[in-house]
Structures are given as C-alpha cells and as structure tokens.
Amino acid sequence: MVFIDNEGITDPHLNLALEEYALRHFDTETDYLLFYINEPSIIIGRNQNTLEEINQEYITEKGIHVVRRISGGGAVYHDLGNLNFSFITNHDNASMHNFKKFTAPVIEVLKNFGVEAELIGRNDILIDGKKVSGTAQFTTGKRMFSHGTLLLSTDLNEVANALQVKMSKISSKGHKSVRSRVANISDFLEEPLTIEAFRSLILEGLYANDKNFKTYEFTEADREGIAKLKAEKYDDWNWNYGRSPKFNIQRTKRFPIGEIDLRLFIEKGHIAEFTVFGDFFGKNAVEELSEFLIGLPYEETTIKNALKDIDLTEYFGAIDKNEFITMIYGNDDIETSPSN
C-alpha cells in the first residue's frame, strides 16, 4: 500500500479534491493510504441538505469552511486536532459496506497505545461508549475508498456550535445527521500527543508489517488535475450548497405592520418559488417581489444584493429591511414564531 503525503495541506477543499483525484486517476493496480488534517470545517455528506446541518451564522462569523464530500453519511466537524484517513482500493462486493476490514488496522494501532477501541454498529469506532471515529465509503464501481476521522484533540465545543442547526423550519428529503456522544482519543491516553506525533504513530503502526512502504510522488499533471478539480467542484457554491435536495421553508412573523407568512421552495440551491401571505397593507402587489428573487441562489449575500434597491415599504408599510431578509435567510430563533 502506497502512502500519499498531502504535504501538510490543511485546506479541506484541496484535501477532498486530492482524495477524489487519487481515487479516479491513480494506478488501479495499487492500494493507497491518504492522511490529511483540515482547518476548521464542516464536511457535508453527499446526500444531505447543507442548511439543515449547519449553524450558518456561526460558521460565517468564525470563518469555518463548508465542503460537501462524495461519500454518504452525516455531517462531521474537522479541525487541526482531527486526523482523517482514507484507504483507496479496488472495488469488490466483499469490501463495500465492510467497515470492519478498514477500521480493524486503525483499532489495532489504538490498542497499542493502551486504548480499548472497538467498532460498534455499522461504522463507528468507540472508546468507553463514546465515539472517537466515524467512517464512510464511496465507490466508482471499479475503485473505492473507505475514509474516516480520528478525534485526537478536537474542540468539542466547536462541534456543538457549528453543527447546532438554526434553520430548523425546513422540510426536505435530505438525509439528516444523527448526533452521537463524542470524545477525544487524548482523553484516554496516559501521555499527551500532538496531532503530528499521533499521525506519525498511526502511520508507523499501519505499516509495521509492510516492508514495501513507499510514498507517492506527485507529477505536474497530478497537481494541475487536483487544482482543477478543487476550483471546479470543491470551491463551487453549487456543489457545497446548491446540490442540496429540494426543500421548503415556511416562516411566520408578527411585525408592527401585521403578520407575514413566507413560503419558499428551493431547488438545486436556487429559489424556485417565493410567496408571501399576511394581513399587512401595502401599495404594490407583493407578488412583484418574487420577480427579484426567483432563480437566484439561496444565499444571504445574493438575497441582500437583490433587495438592496427595493423599497419594501411600498409592499408592506414601515418594515425593517434587515428583519425581512433575516426572515428569508436567517436563524429561526430570531423573533420568528412557528407557522401553523
């Protein structure tokens, strides 16, 4: 098994591009192992609705990356205290969904640290009943990877903050994450370890019986291909947000000018329908607002720009534009009451 050294890159967009590129373009007669550590980021599962998984206001404030991966499963939080591993092999039916095959070597290395880890359920590694690793798989039909996380010293408060979903009044068919009790591996170690030392020990343990240990040498074509994939896919809003399943949003709020009942239908990350009901009084027909918004990406800055020169008092009376925009795209707990 050839080791892929990602050269200390911590950009999750680039690391996920590297992983997919290696899967699709590296030698199909060779198995590979890739390690990477990401800056603070939320990695969304392939079939998830991004907005149902994240606290958008919080991650914008903290500059946390949001990137969709190509494997299924739930959303996970990465930071510099989390080591990610990926086994890239040929596809076979015995390996697909066989998480034990790929987690067993990792568990064995952890046991050498004196940590009693075990695979519980379908794809989680637990220590003392707490999850320290989750794994997922993806196959092209010919090649596959099994990848996972190892929480060494992750900021668990940030896990809760970044994944504390605020936009809860969304109805969609996206696969929602199930939150688990998590812990750091460092909590169970007798001596503290840096993430770099941990990475080295895991690598040494996995290759302890492999006399043919080699490190992959990137070609210029590899670097160009990885950069291209990053730019065209993993940096793209349409992949990270727009690929979310269709979903509806309904919000009702009482303003001094009356009640506004807002309905949106989002398809492929774009506003497909925008309807407003309520008992407010306005000069212009509120249906005109949909003309400014339909077809736009469902993204806060885009919505603000679309309404920047629109006088909302013509449609609703004396209403604060920022409050209205927050109603369209904002946290549910900001003075918003449940709809009937």
Please choose, from the candidates 69, 93, 56, the residue with its C-alpha nearest in 3D space to the C-alpha of residue 13. Answer: 69
The confidence score (pLDDT) of residue 106 equals 86
Most distant CA atoms of the chain, gap in Å? 79
Sign of the dihedral through C-alpha 43, 188, 102, 30 = positive
Six token digits for residue 129 = 């009943």
Q: What is the DSSP letter of 54?
A: -
The confidence score (pLDDT) of residue 332 equals 54
Main-chain phi, psi angles of 140, to 5 degrees? -90, -5
**CB 304, CB 279: distance < 8 Å:** no
Average pLDDT per run of 10 along the chain, which is 340 residues long? 95 98 96 96 86 85 95 90 95 73 84 86 85 88 92 92 63 50 91 92 84 89 98 94 78 84 87 83 80 91 92 85 88 37
The confidence score (pLDDT) of residue 339 equals 33
Please choose, from the candidates 56, 2, 48, 5, the residue with its C-alpha nearest in 3D space to the C-alpha of residue 29. Answer: 2
